[in-house]
Structure 1
């Protein structure tokens, strides 16, 4: 079968994660005929973009792949006639993320880049920018698929689906990492596992698990309760209480620690902020070292040091999805898509994270039905926060922003929410023109 050549545009091409993506592309040249990759970034990212472009050219040359590599600040040219647009950008860079982590800590609240007030601030900065990118896609590549990796991924994907006509699917490396950890725990291949994921982005649970057709939920829960590793590089691992895990009856994702172990996670964050720095401040040092490595003219592979950055399996999540669309594979991927009745009790138009069949027509979620009270209350509360945050971001609505934070489980109440909101708006003034 002769397949059409693929043009891929990568928004945020100067990201330190890009070599991971390119490594994945080079491994899949037989199934994904990508013939052009156009990396695009903003002026402040020019130096990193140049370094990434040179490294990627070396990687492509070493692999003897027939891929044209371009890099520029011209977003419209990158998007024009693209078949896929990947978004992996961070408005305000790592310094904005460090602010997102430190502001909530001042008010005795979890400071994290996607969860709680930190994720709220990131959404306010990100949503107007991504909607502007979508205008270019609607005009210049109306048939393109946008694969959104930009965090908070579920919330951002919902804004795109609500306010644009772009074909988009949100994705995250967390479900892939969870699958890998469960496979390691059960000493099996991921191919032999079948996992039912359902929830929200960074708030997803595995509700059922099978190994070669045998239900293994009890086995996995027992192993997690006994202290088996079930966290990621970028999240402090506070061991789960065995009684709690058995009572929950579902496998939580690593980000659930912020909701279920708030006090312990807050204590750890405060200690880190006072000593070695917040996660963003640590990543700044890691990135500095990475980009020094990337400049080595003899380097033509993804360096192993990139794994310390925290985005393990990023290329698998994105390229498995692209492969399923391009080749109409009808395989199961965990994605962020419209609910459309998948989880009972949530509106059809909200975005959830769940297992879905993916083919050339997109993603069709696997029906879950009604979730247990053990998890449903938290989902509904966080989804209300997400819906309100989208409206605040799109319309620059202070009142929606305030109610969004008041609704978030990690925020203590009106006074705390108002202080945090005012601080976020002051600190991010240059990135939030919609609030002026």
Structure 2
């Protein structure tokens, strides 16, 4: 099988290739095509992959190209992991929002809207090229904001696009570990939108073990989300929120921490990644060692401002393990290509799963996956407090999609103004002015 990775010069691509190297079964991926607009980044990541695959007899062959159509032809699976505007764009998104006193994170709040407005037109173009050149391919979307972008692409590709995020997987594994359960054997009741979901139960042998965790003060405060939100708030919710809900539940503290920080997460990653690719431009740099060193630092500093706001210090070593989005992607491909049935938390069209949203709204829920694709599992209704957040943010996503399609500046302002973390229509107008001045990719917002 041929796998095409869009954004193939991206830093996390070696995670995906590493997962592929462990798959030796019939029907595995035998060819990987990396596509990126930046030839230098492509070359750097290709070097890392070459060292990863050295000595592995059946390592997938790797090719690289800057031509999108060439990359897509003959693909069985397409990973979309693009970053429109690069890390420079992310850093600007954060800076402009914080200047207005609102959150600028890349998937949440004003920053997420700005990123979505830049990304949706490009993702839609990619979906159309996939439909034309590789109509039988399955698209696995990693591009943020993952739920919004998956919904945009689904309007072209239908159910042949599935979104992936490692946050729910990581949360489920941490909770299972605390409860002494095998995460691969447990049923994780998780529901919401991308970066806006709640773990409501962890079932082992037909019994929900989450109440046991919620009743144990020491255990509840012993892992990342427990320290981030605090045991008292988790017991009040009766659930464990995705870490990104810290931006909603402790918004004032998060914004203050971001404004006080020496630099934002985007600015930090911009400098870090630039240093990595600069180092990789030297012929004597050991590629894999440089990549591993950079990855370790990246993981250790994840959501540092939020932990600062919560007063919990650095991440524990046990919490540094990622959710393994590359493993989820591999399991998804196996399930589709070989009919190896799997249960995975994915971003898919709702199809009645959440009664408060229409059928085409992309949600993040457990899915049964087989050769026919990903099928969302019916879940219990959300409590009203969650309904409010989910429907409000989905409403914002729909305005972003409408603005991207129409080019309407007024609709883009509406998207900003309706977000729960933007507190004024006047602020929304200034945000859009700031973003359109900064990003050439928003020049289409005219009418």
1:435 is displaced (CA, Å) by 1.7
| Match of residue 77 from structure 2 | 84
Answering whether residue 435 of structure 2 is matched by residue 424 of structure 1, we say yes
Partner deviation per Cα, 1:1-59 (whole Å, 9 max, x = no partner): xxxxx1000000000101111111101232651111000101xx211111111221232
Change in Cα spacing, 1:132 to 1:197, as seen in structure 2 (3 Å) is same
Mapping 1:387-402, distance limit 5 Å: 387-402=398-413
In the aligned structure 1, how far is the partner of 2:412 from the partner of 2:288?
A: 46
Q: Which runs of 5+ in 1 are unaligned?
A: 1-5, 232-236
Q: Is the CA contact (8 Å cut-off) linking 1:25 and 1:32 kept in structure 2?
A: no
Partner deviation per Cα, 1:44-92 (whole Å, 9 max, x = no partner): x211111111221232232222422100101111100100000111011
Change in Cα spacing, 1:257 to 1:294, as seen in structure 2 (3 Å) is farther
Decide which of 251, 255, 261 is 1:262's aligned counterpart.
251
Answering whether residue 20 of structure 2 is matched by residue 25 of structure 1, we say yes
1:297 is displaced (CA, Å) by 5.9
| Match of residue 352 from structure 1 | 363
Q: Is the CA contact (8 Å cut-off) linking 1:198 and 1:204 kept in structure 2?
A: yes
Determine helix, strand or coil for the equivalent of 2:187. strand
1:330 is displaced (CA, Å) by 2.1
Q: Is the CA contact (8 Å cut-off) linking 2:187 and 2:203 kept in structure 1?
A: yes
Q: Is the CA contact (8 Å cut-off) linking 2:121 and 2:404 kept in structure 1?
A: yes
In the aligned structure 2, how far is the partner of 1:159 from the partner of 1:288?
A: 30
Decide which of 149, 156, 172 is 2:149's aligned counterpart.
156
Partner deviation per Cα, 1:138-185 (whole Å, 9 max, x = no partner): 111000000000000000111111244572001111111112211232
1:219 is displaced (CA, Å) by 2.4
In the aligned structure 2, how far is the partner of 1:414 from the partner of 1:247?
A: 32
TM-score by length of 2: 0.89
Determine helix, strand or coil for the equivalent of 1:358. strand
| Match of residue 36 from structure 1 | 31
In the aligned structure 1, how far is the partner of 2:275 from the partner of 2:421?
A: 34
Answering whether residue 281 of structure 2 is matched by residue 279 of structure 1, we say no
Decide which of 218, 222, 229 is 2:223's aligned counterpart.
229
| Match of residue 325 from structure 1 | 336
Decide which of 136, 143, 156 is 1:143's aligned counterpart.
136
Q: Is the CA contact (8 Å cut-off) linking 2:357 and 2:391 kept in structure 1?
A: yes
In the aligned structure 1, how far is the partner of 2:407 from the partner of 2:52?
A: 43
Determine helix, strand or coil for the equivalent of 1:370. coil
Q: Is the CA contact (8 Å cut-off) linking 1:116 and 1:411 kept in structure 2?
A: yes
In the aligned structure 2, how far is the partner of 1:253 from the partner of 1:227?
A: 15
Range 92-101 or range 292-301, more displaced: 292-301
Partner deviation per Cα, 1:336-355 (whole Å, 9 max, x = no partner): 11111001121111110100
Q: Which runs of 5+ in 2 are unaligned?
A: 303-321
Determine helix, strand or coil for the equivalent of 1:30. coil
In the aligned structure 1, how far is the partner of 2:294 from the partner of 2:217?
A: 28
Give the paired residue count.
420
Change in Cα spacing, 1:406 to 1:31, as seen in structure 2 (3 Å) is farther
| Match of residue 90 from structure 2 | 97
Decide which of 337, 342, 353 is 2:353's aligned counterpart.
342
Determine helix, strand or coil for the equivalent of 2:199. strand
1:298 is displaced (CA, Å) by 4.6
Determine helix, strand or coil for the equivalent of 2:355. coil
Could you list the structure 1 runs, at least 4 aligned residues long, displaced by more than 6 angstroms after superposition. Answer: none
Cα RMSD between the aligned structures? 2.1
1:300 is displaced (CA, Å) by 5.0
Partner deviation per Cα, 1:225-251 (whole Å, 9 max, x = no partner): 8422225xxxxx973243322221121
In the aligned structure 1, how far is the partner of 2:39 from the partner of 2:217?
A: 44
Q: Is the CA contact (8 Å cut-off) linking 1:321 and 1:358 kept in structure 2?
A: yes
Change in Cα spacing, 1:286 to 1:62, as seen in structure 2 (3 Å) is farther
In the aligned structure 1, how far is the partner of 2:64 from the partner of 2:155?
A: 30
